[in-house]
Every structure is written in C-alpha cells, then in structure tokens.
Amino acid sequence: MGKNDADVLILGAGPAGLVLGNLLRAAGIDCVILERKSREQVENRARAGFLAANSVRLLEANGLADGLLRDGVQHDTCVFRYERTEFEIKYGGLAAGEVHTVYPQQFLVTDLIAEFLARGGEIKFGTEVSSVSGTEATVIADEVLLRAEYIAGCDGRRGVSRRSVPARVFRRDHAISWLAILAEAPPSMPAVGYAMHERGFAGHMARTSTVTRYYLEVPRGEDPEGWTDDRIWDELHQRMRADQYGPLKQGAILERRIVDLGSHVMDTIQRGNLFLAGDAASLISPSAAKGANLALMEAEILAGALIAAHHERDTTALDRYSAECLPRIWRAQEFSHWLIALLHSPAGYDDEAVFQRALRDARLESLRISRANQDFFAESYVGI
C-alpha cells in the first residue's frame, strides 16, 4: 500500500458504509471501516426497516440479500385513519407497482458486517475518529494518523466527516416530536397505519412477526420515561381508533425515545477526496421511510465512482458525485415534507387550527378518491 493505510477509509459501519465497503471489496479495492461503537452495539441498534425495491435490487445484485430474501416481508399497503373514515392504498398495484421489503436494519447491518469480513475487509470497532481532511486524505483515529487514497464519511449526523466539508447546510425544524416505541407485540394490521386524531398523530409499522414499531406525536421536550406501558397503549388505542377498527395486539415496550422531526441537506457533499453518504450527507424525517434507502443509493453511486477512479484513474463520476446525488435527496425531502403536512395539523380550536385541519382533511379526501394522487403517492413512497 506504500504510504497509505488503505485505498479507501470508510467512517461508520451503518448501511451506507457497509454497502459501500462490500461493493469496493468485490471490486478488489482495499478498504478499512472505522466505527466508534462496538460490534455488539452496531448489530443491535434498532432503526428503520423499510427497504425500497431499488435497495433490494442493489443488495440482491451484489450478493448482499440472502437474509432479507429469506426473512424479509413484503409490504404494499398503507392505511389512513382519520375522523371521517378509514381507507387503504395498495401502492404495490399502482404506478410502477413497487413494494417495500420490511427487514429490520439491525438484521441487515449484521448480514453486511459478516459479508464484508468474509470478503477480506477490516472493521476497527471502538475507534474514535477526531479529525478528517479531504484535501490531504487523512484521518486521525485514536490519535493515530491514517492515510488513504479516498475517504468516505458515513458516520452520521454527529460524526466528524460532515464538519470537515465546508458546505451550505439547509435545515428545517418541523416543530414536531414523536415518541418512538418498539413493542414486543405482533403487528395489529397487515399494513402500515397512519392515524390522524385530535390528540395527535399515531403510526403503526410492522418490524417482525413479534415486534412492531409505533409512533405517537408528543409535545416538544417530552420525557419518554414519563410514558408508562399502560399510558402508551391507552394513547395508541385512542388515536388508532381501536374501538372502531379493532383492538391492538399489546406487549412489553422494549424501547421508547423521542424523535424531533427535522431535516438537513449538505450542499456540497464532497471536498477533495472526502465524500459523504447517509445521514452525514442529509437527514430526513422517518415519516417517509427514506433514510436507509437514500444511504444505499448514495453508497451505490459512490462505489461506482470510486471503482472508476481507482482502477481506471477516471475521476469524472467522483467529480459529479454531489451533482448526481443531491437532486435525488431533494426529491425524497420534498415527499417527506408533503407527508409530514398530511399527517400533522395544529391542535386547538382557533380559526387557524380549524382551517389547517380542514385543509388536511381535504388532502386526505383527494388521496382517497383520486387515482392520480394515489399514483403520485405510490411512486414517491417507494421511489427516490
């Protein structure tokens, strides 16, 4: 390797970094992944689980999909509940006819780690990166200077990579908070459920046959420990209108944490030989199930560009990495914002709150009856 410690240093062992590392190893490129947390922590970190069709195709085409093809469950339906009615959209039968595959992210990460190591890659868990230079292609990790030909920053919104790229950062705080709940309970419906209620939004997302993700809209600054199991199930029962549409399958609450809905986009997502992917490049609300799918899309584009640069000394694709990714990131952000506006409305009974709720109900009614709106939803929900 000469003076370099690797052809490519990858910061972060999340979906972006691991998919990128696997694609590079398949092309014979030497890469090392630096991860702050332990392997056990990374492999047990419960996150999103909805993989879009393009993500599944990417993983399958590169020999990374054995687990999800064996254990993943396809989802093709959304249910919307609000004061007037309940309706479902079978988005798998609309527009491009694409579906989601539900496969919890910690399972995917576990698969990707095993495959990366089997392909001869190296992961340094428990490694703290304190500095990154894209112009010099260097990393300081555990006070040791490491050099590479290229660096991929896949270390998330709080990692050092994004702070090393001088870029304009577009941010938006949606002023909405969710209590994210992981319940040891079977799904209560075969579809993704979105419930709009005067007490706030509630969401139902299956993870496995025995674990379900729920969301409850809560005031900003809420303490998740103030929500007992009984309080959570009582609130979900009301907002999901279980008396009207059927009881929820209850179980122990495994996790409760607050998610403040916010968005940011870096422009640019590269500097010198440093390239950002995943949450380091952009943060998107969980409402539209886009985060992991954006990460995989960016990893695929970056892998192709790095392979061309390393093997053919052609940096054309690397030079255009930001220009290639950012329009797709903004498209995903636009749909996320649209869905946030659909799912949330102001509380209270003043004229403005009542007006905003009436607009929301009109949007829901248009989605219920308009095939054109349903096709837009289907294409945007599954695609990027």
Catalytic residue numbers?
A: 75, 194, 286, 290, 381
- At 179, give phi and psi (nearest 5°): -90, 110
Give buried/exposed letters for 74-108 (b at 16+ CB in 10 A, else e).
ebbbbbbbbeeeeebbebbebbeebbbbbbbbbbb
Residues with Cβ within 8 Å of residue 209, at least 6 apart in sequence: 186, 187
Is residue 59 within 8 Å of 19, Cβ to Cβ? Answer: yes
Alpha carbon 243 to its chain's center: 32
CA distance 90 to 78: 7
Strand partners, 139: 132, 146
Residue found under tokens 């010198």: 272
Judged by phi (left if over 0) then psi (alpha if -120 to 50, else beta), residue 361 lies in: alpha
